[in-house]
Copies of this chain bind each other. A is one copy, B any other.
């Protein structure tokens, strides 16, 4: 199975354009990334859900609407939204453009086979079976009407998934975000295994990312054996309660990160988002909350997938995603885990630690309570029993620490220390 040494970094169109992103927007964001972010490690450009839907307008789906499909029951890009896909070229031209920028190209898919293929009973490439014969009759997505699940026991089921990934490989796809699958276990477990096998058989290295969460902790080994990353929450948006809850999820999943397996805390809703509704909308997270989010995602080694419209990012947002020390922690952290969660100075704090693959140790202290605080963290809480040199990675401030880290924190804020 294809594996990456570090968690994927990139951009995805959902947070800013929902189901309605267009080729122009994708190209603009890709160009921006290539120019401003590539050197920091950002590389994936992913077109999210319903690129086969010609009439998509925003984050809402049109139930039971007609999708663009080829003669083999496979969805293809809507030409009105992705003009370069005309003449049966699919996403190949767009992928080629992204590759030309030195970046990688990803697409969203839904588990299963289009309902319209099933109703029209269209052919499956490489099989004498037809769409109706491989559909699983009672397997539907609960929030979108595009697909039926595939019955993994059916003759033709593997041929269908093989035909999909062969097509995507021919387009030059590097990243598959597969939806309606991560939290559907154990019900759809065999379909996940089938789909993963087809992807691995297709002859091209692709990341397999599973959505939506929450993934099931008791299925951790299965996710690790079939995919590269899997969502540990339902859709994550710019609200503190969701961010606060991520600490619980990260604690439960942290031991499963590493070596090509990345529990996924979801996209970063930063900068301008929900542009399909109103171009003036942007994240409601405070700057401290964004620091907290970026610090937690990085020490936890979640994939980092930007959700905002990058071409309009302000300086703060650019600073957030181009801090070299933080991104180094994202690459080099090993064996990350929380140390404790407790009240200090009248407000709740959470301490995380990790070692660095280059030596030294990381410590991140989060103020998850509702008031600012001043905290003292004994080095022995980190099992350090000697003086260390400390660098706070957001401020760059350095100091020598004999026994205790002292730090002031804003409510919902964080500080990241590299100790060596």
Task: Determine whether the beta carbon of A381 is less than 8 Å from that of B259.
Answer: yes
| Bound-state Cα–Cα, A138 to B148, Å | 12
Task: Determine whether the beta carbon of B145 is less than 8 Å from that of A221.
Answer: no
User: Could you tell me the distance in whole angstroms from the C-beta of A238 to the nearest C-beta in chain B?
Assistant: 27
Task: Determine whether the beta carbon of B254 is less than 8 Å from that of A137.
Answer: no
Q: Which of A19-27, A42-50, A115-123, A387-395 contacts the other chain?
A: A115-123
Q: How large is the interface on A (under 10, 10 to 19, 20 to 34, 35 or more residues)?
A: 35 or more
Contact of A357 among B258, B338, B383 (CB under 8 A): B383
| Bound-state Cα–Cα, A141 to B138, Å | 7
Task: Kindly report how many copies of this chain are found in the complex they form together.
Answer: 4
Q: List 25 A-B contacts (CB under 8 A).
A: A5-B380, A5-B383, A5-B385, A63-B137, A64-B119, A64-B121, A64-B132, A116-B119, A137-B143, A137-B144, A137-B145, A138-B140, A138-B141, A138-B143, A221-B340, A225-B342, A255-B337, A255-B338, A258-B339, A259-B339, A334-B383, A335-B335, A335-B353, A337-B337, A355-B355
Contact of A380 among B259, B339, B341, B383 (CB under 8 A): B259
Q: Give the contacts of A381-412 with B (CB-CB under 8 A).
A: 381-383, 385
Asked if A224 is at the interface of the complex by the 8 Å CB criterion, the answer is yes
Asked if A197 is at the interface of the complex by the 8 Å CB criterion, the answer is no
| Bound-state Cα–Cα, A142 to B137, Å | 8
Point out the residues of chain B lying under 8 angstroms from A36, CB to CB: none
Which residue on B lies nearest to A352, using beta carbons? B255
User: Could you tell me the distance in whole angstroms from the C-beta of A359 to the nearest C-beta in chain B?
Assistant: 8
